[in-house]
Amino acid sequence: MSAELSGFKRFLHWGPITALSIIKCITLTTLYMNSMWWPPNISLGAFVNQAIFLMLSSLATFNYVMATITGPGLLPLKWQPQDPSVTDQLQYCKVCEGYKAPRSHHCRKCNRCIKKMDHHCPWINHCVGWANHAYFTYFLLFSIVGSLHGAVILSCAFYRGIHRYWYLSRGLVHLATVQFTVYSIIMCIFAMGLAIGVVIALGMLLYFQMKSILKNQTGIEMWIIEKAMYRRMHYPDLDEFVYPYDLGYKENLRQVFKNECVAKGVGVEWKVIEGCDQYTLTREQIAQKCEKRARTRTYKCIRKATGSFLPLFSQGFRVCLSPPCTDEPRLRLEPEDIIKVTRFRKHWLFGERVVDATELQKEGGEAIKKKPLRGWFPRRCAIELIQPSQPITSEEEDCNEPERSNNGKLDKSKKIANGNVSRRKATHQQNGHKKSN
């Protein structure tokens, strides 16, 4: 799904269609049942009750539409920092052919780098990030409150409706106002279930969103911090990692919630705490990726992989019954393809297919970009190479360049990653020497 879709076309997707259908189903059913249970024309309280519900429903719909149309903020293609000397502290995106600004990440669904990316939300058919974070959070809030209000109205109307004949038998005609038909009672129960489900599901999501906003962290940055703590448990000699963007809960809230809900600045530079700089987090990311590359294993495809999520006919029931619980892409492989594997499951592997110069010239760079180069594939389709036929990748070569911290000292995390890569190079040279002898 392209990140550059027009506003209307972005709603032509199962996510927005489903979300808007749920909102309107709850709203219309609640209004219909409320017109029998507590009609707005009988008293001031009834009028205020329906007005509040309509306001909550309208605000939820407005913020939903604005979160979808506004988008998270796309980093320009081929983006370069103003100071070329800091490029060694930034990650490079091969797809966008530019560097990733601090707190920016590439979304494989939108196929673009996103400013301050939190996550890709299929319900708005877009990412949640720097520009639309406030709209998305307000949408969650008003949807929860409005659905809770609707659930109360539907529950009261349902109670009145199923006791209608009891009220009539005792002369309480003024309470026997809700009259059910087969379709209306089905819609009432269905809408009540949807409203309760929305309160529970979006309530949990709002909790995690507010937790991250109060700490000025995105979902991706939480994972980076967790890995940073894990690295320092295993390597106590590493310098202490300090998250640079936690400015206190008041300032953290101001960065997301503004008076006009419009994101300030350009989404590239951020306020940091004392003792940190704009690239403190990106240096940690680079160090983590270098260690990950150092642990990479090389596999060779021996059996065609179709790229299907459930390759029943080509791989059998055992592989299909234990798929990775993720929506990450599946790789389509041909025999003799080389894959750099970084994650391992019992029946599946995750890695990046190595594109050689011959394939690049044959199909062209644009054609290669459109194919998923990273993803999951069945383990039985490949074997591990004890003596890899492919050289160390360019990313591993980049890891050999020493990264220095602000005080000019060599970063200890780089020393660890460089040592791992150097040992791999020595092993490759030794194996090649033995083979020649």
> What positions carry a catalytic annotation?
121
Residue with tokens 């040279």: 429
The whole-angstrom separation of Cα 135 and Cα 69 is: 10
Q: Which residue pairs from 77-82 have beta carbons closer than 8 angstroms and sit at least 24 positions apart in sequence?
A: 77/112, 79/113
Q: How far apart are the first and last CA of the chain?
A: 53
Q: How many CB atoms lie within 10 A of CB 69?
A: 16
Query: Which DSSP helix (H) or strand (E) runs through 57?
Result: helix 44-70
Q: Does residue 279 contact residue 406 with C-beta atoms inside 8 Å? A: no
- Beta-bridge partners for 24: none
Buried b (16+ CB within 10 A) or exposed e, 209-228: beebbebbbbebbbebbebb
The whole-angstrom separation of Cα 47 and Cα 39 is: 8
* C-alpha distances out from residue 73 to 22, 64, 90, 106, 228, Å: 27, 16, 19, 12, 27
* C-alpha distances out from residue 255 to 102, 262, 333, Å: 16, 10, 44
364 conformational bin, left if phi > 0, alpha if psi -120 to 50, beta if neither: left
* C-alpha distances out from residue 307 to 297, 310, 375, Å: 21, 9, 9
Q: Does residue 271 contact residue 251 with C-beta atoms inside 8 Å? A: yes
